[in-house]
Chain A
Amino acid sequence: GENVEQHPSTLSVQEGDSAVIKCTYSDSASNYFPWYKQELGKRPQLIIDIRSNVGEKKDQRIAVTLNKTAKHFSLHITETQPEDSAVYFCAATLRPNDYKLSFGAGTTVTVRA
């Protein structure tokens, strides 16, 4: 099955700086890669996703890049703000064949004021 590795496990950045989280996946057939943000004690929320026919996607301060050849994808947060502090999870799956999401172990991001 799919195996997703996520790095780093913790990330501390100064407010206004950028944060980058990287994930690798094992199944070259995977074609859908969502990112979730989970604040303490709250539910995971989808913040951005990318499909394998696209190399990059942006939404305001958040962007995701995908390198299918290397089987890795990254989340970029620019101009970080204190409210960006949370745990971020990457995930991968093969749609429509595979219904489960395989998640990384998460990255705890702390934005220092």
Chain B
Amino acid sequence: DAGVTQSPTHLIKTRGQQVTLRCSPKSGHDTVSWYQQALGQGPQFIFQYYEEEERQRGNFPDRFSGHQFPNYSSELNVNALLLGDSALYLCASSLGSDGYTFGSGTRLTVV
């Protein structure tokens, strides 16, 4: 039974560019949440998708957007990248109010 799969594992982008990160949830999970983890910090909630809609959003600008597909997989898009967007982006899937299962993350470096 595969866990949460994220791609790519590492990514280097230039300031101003756009990036798309992908997440496949654990089998049986229908909810996907995205978190940003800066170095040495705890994960910060970006947003959560359920039934293909954004259900809740954290304190992130509109440059951060997402999508959930009918198969429950999800994408995180970040436009107009800033140096401060460099972080580990974690996807977590869940079913209902059960605990999260995190993916291994995508390490984004903005230069």
Contact = CB atoms under 8 A, between A and B. Distances in A.
B99 A99 contact: no
B83 to A, nearest CB: 21
SS class of chain B's interface: helix, strand, loop or mixed?
loop
Contacts of A49: 99
Interface residues of A, number: 24
Given A44-B43, A89-B43, A105-B42, A100 B58 contact: yes
B97 A96 contact: yes
A43 B90 contact: yes
Interface string A72-107: 000000000000000001010001101111111110
Interface residues of B, number: 24
Interface in A26-41: 32, 34, 36
Given A89-B42, A100-B58, A42 B48 contact: no
B40 interface: yes
Given A99-B33, A105-B41, A106-B40, A43 B48 contact: no
